[in-house]
Amino acid sequence: MTRTRVALLGVAAVAAVHGVGWAYVTGRMQAEYAAALDGMRQAGWSVVTEAPQRAGWPSSAALRLGAVQVDGTGAGLPVRWRAEQVRIALHATSPGTLHVVPAGAMYLGVGSFPDCRIDAGMLEGTTDGSAYDLAARGLLIEGSGGSVAIEGLQAHAAGLMIEATLIGAAPSPSLRLPAVGRWSIEASLTEPWPAGSNPAVQAATWRDSGGTVVVSHAQGRAEALAVDAAGTARLDDTLQPVLSLTAKVSGYRPALDKLVAAGVVTAPAATAARAVLGLLSGHDAQAPATVPVRLDGGVLAIA
């Protein structure tokens, strides 16, 4: 037997082993996907999707789901989501990390609000079972009132910590809002979020255990306006958010001028806001205003 034949037999053997491994892993993924889907439906989720097809050979083990429609209303989360295609994959370079990649147009709706369309240059969620990450670039969100283009979005959750950053959001002229340079938040949970597939039950369990979100910092800039806030958030008896923050706000004068010019805020309201914010800054035009913010019972109170 020549060396060439030995080499070819070796390659064939490796390919056969790899093929068997790929078939085994994708088969397990199909079984776990079916179990997760059944659990969601039992918890009240409405999920409509095509049967998953194995994909990814030879570089990854993947499932291609085709069109997906998810409605969480029956599970206590009034959110609707649709995607033209979803790919779930395990890559050879990171076999312990699950990648979830929607493709094509997506649609997101909350409560009674109409669905908005979402297109993305890149959108991917990953998890290794202990940490969860979301990364997006080139997002375009289109609703009935206008559109928002977002340059980048990153979110990370691990253990009790949550971090998120939004970079470069430009609203369409019809929304009459200022462009956003960068917003970021760092927060932590005082209690871990319970496992399960029913968001209402999980939220109630977390609330009853004393769960609170501690916002260590929330910073943002929208043109001249700059905000730096910290505080806490929790859920009330009806699972509605109760938010208590203290924010330092600077650059509010030019921001109010622009909102008045755009017709978003009336001139009398802007005059009143300048007076209150000026009082909270100690009548120092160079100092930021320290503003208490509270959301409770659906009522937002500022200063």
Q: What are phi and psi of 269, to 5 degrees?
A: -65, -40
pLDDT of residue 1: 52
Average pLDDT over residues 167-175: 91
Query: Does residue 9 carry a pLDDT above 50?
Result: no
pLDDT, tens digit, for every residue of 215-239? 999 999 988 899 999 999 999 999 9
Q: How many angstroms separate the Cα of 229 from the Cα of each of 226, 245, 256?
A: 10, 6, 19
Query: Does residue 18 carry a pLDDT above 60?
Result: no
**CA–CA dist 124, 128 (Å, integer):** 14
Q: Extract the tokens encoding 198.
A: 């029913």
Tell me the pLDDT band of 204, cut-offs 50, 70 and 90: very high
pLDDT of residue 64: 92
Q: Extract the tokens encoding 188.
A: 């932590």
pLDDT, tens digit, for every residue of 258-280? 888 878 889 998 898 888 888 88
| Average pLDDT taken over every residue of the chain | 88
pLDDT of residue 8: 42
**CA–CA dist 84, 63 (Å, integer):** 14
pLDDT of residue 2: 63
Strand positions, DSSP E, 111-224: 116-127, 131-143, 146-158, 161-171, 180-189, 213-222
Lowest mean pLDDT among 10-19, 51-60, 79-88: 10-19
| DSSP element (H, E) containing 277 | helix 267-280
**CB atoms near residue 150 (< 10 Å):** 20
pLDDT of residue 4: 56
Prediction pTM value:
0.83
pLDDT, tens digit, for every residue of 86-112? 999 988 778 789 999 998 999 999 988
Average pLDDT over residues 11-22: 52
pLDDT of residue 124: 96
**CA–CA dist 290, 274 (Å, integer):** 13
